[in-house]
Chain A
Amino acid sequence: MTNNIKKQTFAIKGMHCASCVYTNEKALKSIPGVTSAVVNLATGKGTIVSSEVVPDRAIKDAVKSVGYEALVEVGESGTLDDKIKKEKAVELKNLKTKTFVSLTIGAMVVWGSFPGIMEIAPAVFKNFYVQMVLAGIVQFWAGFDFYRAAISSLKHRLANMDTLVAIGTTVAFVYSVFVTFYPEFFMSLNIEVMPYYDVSAVIIGLILLGRLFEAQAKAGTGEAIKKLMGLQAKTARIIRGNKEIDIPISEVIVGDMIRVRPGEKIPVDGIIVEGGSAIDESMVTGESIPVDKHKGDTVIGATMNKSGSFVFKATKVGEDSMLAQIIKLVTEAQGSKAPIQRLADVISSYFVPIVIMMAIATFTVWYVFGPSQAAIMAMLNAIAVLIIACPCAMGLATPTAIMVGTGIGAQHGILIRDAESLETAHKIKTVVFDKTGTLTHGKPEVTDVIVTGPYNNQEILKMAAAIEKNSEHPLGEAIVKKAEAGKLSFSKVKKFHSITGKGVEGFVDNKKIYVGKLLSDKKKKEALDLEKEGKTVVYVYAEKKMVGIIAIADTIKESAVDAVSALNRMGIETVMITGDNQATASAIAKKVGIERVLAEVLPQDKEREVKKLQREGKIVAMVGDGINDAPALAASDIGIAMGTGTDVAMEAAGITLVNKSLMSVVSALKLSAKTMKTIKLNLFWAFAYNVVLIPVAMVGLISPILASGAMAFSSVSVVLNSLGLKRVKI
């Protein structure tokens, strides 16, 4: 790249389709000097390459000419998100100022009007006109947003929190203004001349304070997604010919060769083609121990390369990458609704108008049937009813907990598809594990080598591996792998051929070696024992004499035993499902600690078995890799797909586990239980609060000021309770 090429990036506002991209690109390319223009719909950004720097004006005009707006000041890293962030920051700052001013003024007015302390207040605070001006500032400046929101809602014949606050405080303020200007009128009615400026000012101050806390706490609920988004690497060092160049990650394409040096972030998903390293994948999979990876292993974008250096070939970039998929899944889950929320939704849509009716009823009943001075009591109690009602707590109860819960899940490599799955998971009573690839590694390994002739273990393995090197059988592969792992060198094989259905043979060091099924000998006891353990046995012959037995088995994952026993301790029944014969299946189930085994089940019948369990009245989770058990995952009450992250599995699964540890199944169920507990507590609190305190306010047992304090505390406490989930150990 030569130096005189200039690149400029900016945001484009208002794009929503592919044709917008095209029109913008065309407009940008028409700017004199621009050699290329690329517009990205997903990021909302445009990049132009030119020989000279293009003035901002020219970019703006070009984009404007086709009906959009370019935000040149945004630059490379800025997006609409930044604008939102800025907006939020300004909002928070305004809210802080308004809260502080209202509470300060509120305190002055209270000092000047509250019996017991007003006697020592400066005379100026006791003056009704001064109080009116002070409370007026709070009412119409700090409380302006309540009015604005209330009025625009009323235009649609809707009402919300702001409507209640606006009505409640306006009544107090307007009444006080009347008292200030026409004290004689109130005296003639035998009503004490006392304005309630303190009520209106303090209510607004406290409710704003509640909003401030709530906004700050709410920001914490969406943190997980932001963290995930922040994981993305910015650049990739790609190899082009003999050169290595750093390019922005958005320009990486599938098939690019990328070099990763120690301590660097892996930019995109791919397969290692050269070198190897320990890779910290905790940020994506939740697995805390770095994983050793070599040639042929897959690497995940956004994970951290620890020690080594390697080159990998990009296989998935942009929206297809694992990180992008995870972010998409979590975002979608946070947009979904848990069934438990339905009732709260129905109630909150009728809530505010009902509260207004209750307030009118309160006023009327107190006025008509109340004691002397009834008008004041009626007014204050009606205000208390309006102010204490807290629909926000109901609305916040479920979504905030779901946001935090799904976020924590993602941090532990547990991806929850939607709120409904999260809710169902805590009711699970039976967990069905697919055997191959889920409870086991899914790759056969040599577990035993038994000597039956003059050669030792290593020699037998060497001979067998030399022959099997030429075969493509998976069992042969396991033997070769074992020999390679023991750093054994193999001799050359002559006259190799395979005997269909039997085994393979050839000459190694001039000896005729056969590896395969038993020839004419009687079955040895050792072989029988191994078979009972669920292992496959192959025999090694040298010069037609049996010299050894090699046992091969799919090994059990280390986490399987722990996970099964943890589930059993939680009172959850565990079941293993497999196509293996009963003996092999039982042997493996016993090792893992599973009592119920469904053996000899063909892949296509797994779904039927799951349904059978459901007919027994069980709520069933099915754990599988999603490759051949997708129908079973879909049929179960909640499908849990392990480790692979294939699209099919994610489609069928309610929960996808990014890492391969079976303990994640336990964590997922625990997370669901804890989240549901939080939601239930939140809902209980939100309902009980309103159900108890609204009647209390109606009978006149709570002052409007206390009511506003309780209201503010109520919604904040719900959000804080949801945030408490973050501290939960799963």
Chain B
Amino acid sequence: MVFDKVLVLIIGIVGIISTYWFFFMKKSQTIEAEGDTIEIKVEGGYKPDRISIPVGKTTRLVFDRRDPSSCLEEVVLSDFKVRKFLALNEKTTVEITPDKTGEFDFSCGMGMYHGKLIVK
């Protein structure tokens, strides 16, 4: 039967394209830190995952871990030399005072989940 093969081929190609679109074409919004504290929900990733913060000022990033997955148990802000364990259902505060502008990545302990700090 050729019909099923054509169908699978079409579905397969569509599947690959939509996987690409779904994971790689997403646009995330940059959230500006209001005041000196910003709360980041840790559940299946970081929300928000693009955070704009001011240079030269201390900002408190409060990570609120709701996700029991051990993948997200640690948060790493390597440019600020921070690797912190996030207790489940707790808010863990990380204080940073960026001294230069630019984009700085933050991620989970194994570098699978990412977020960005945009220092302006």
Name A residues whose Cβ lies closer than 8 Å to a Cβ of B: 13-14, 16-17, 80, 83-84, 87, 91, 145, 148-149, 151-162, 211, 215, 331-337, 341, 344-345, 348-350, 352-353, 356-357, 360-361, 363-365, 367-368, 391-392, 394-396, 399, 418-419
Contacts and interface: CB of A to CB of B under 8 A. Distances in A.
B44 A153 contact: yes
B83 A157 contact: no
A108 B113 CA distance: 37
Given A161-B112, A364-B13, A215 B47 contact: no
B12 A353 contact: no
Contact of B23 (A145, A151, A159, A332): A159
A349 B76 CA distance: 15
Contacts of A333: 81
Contacts of A337: 76, 78-79
B19 A215 contact: no
Contacts of B110: 348, 391-392, 394-396, 399
B100 interface: no
B77 A345 contact: no
A391 B82 CA distance: 22
Given A152-B44, A335-B82, A335-B83, A395 B20 contact: no
B76 A335 contact: yes
Contacts of A331: 83
Interface of A is mostly: helix
15 contacts: A16-B62, A80-B90, A87-B88, A148-B69, A149-B68, A149-B69, A153-B45, A153-B113, A155-B45, A157-B22, A160-B112, A160-B113, A335-B77, A335-B84, A348-B112
A353 B47 contact: no
A369 to B, nearest CB: 8
B119 interface: no
A149 B68 CA distance: 8
B19 to A, nearest CB: 5
Given A159-B23, A334-B83, A360-B12, A149 B67 contact: yes
Interface size class of B (residues with CB under 8 A): 35 or more
Contacts of B19: 353, 356-357, 360
Contact of B81 (A17, A332, A363): A332
Given A331-B83, A357-B19, A361-B12, 4 more contacts: A149-B71, A344-B111, A357-B20, A364-B13
B16 to A, nearest CB: 5
Contacts of A363: 8, 12
A356 B19 CA distance: 8
B52 interface: no
B87 A83 contact: yes
Given A83-B87, A335-B81, A162 B69 contact: yes
A162 B113 CA distance: 12
Nearest to A355: B19
B8 to A, nearest CB: 5
Interface in B46-105: 47, 49, 60, 62, 67-71, 76-85, 87-88, 90-91, 93, 105
B87 A80 contact: yes
Nearest to A84: B87
> Of residues A17, A149, A335, A364, which shows the largest number of chain B Cβ atoms within 10 Å of its Cβ?
A335
A357 B22 CA distance: 11
Contact of A336 (B23, B60, B69, B81): B81
A-B pairs with lowest CB-CB distance, top 9: A152-B44, A395-B110, A364-B12, A335-B83, A337-B78, A156-B45, A353-B23, A149-B69, A332-B81
A341 B15 CA distance: 32
A87 B67 contact: no
Contact of A395 (B79, B105, B112): B112
B68 A353 contact: no
A373 B120 CA distance: 59
A709 B87 CA distance: 30
Contacts of A348: 110-112
B67 A152 contact: yes
Contacts of B109: 395, 399
Nearest to B114: A349
B12 A158 contact: no
Nearest to B67: A152
A362 to B, nearest CB: 9
B13 A156 contact: no
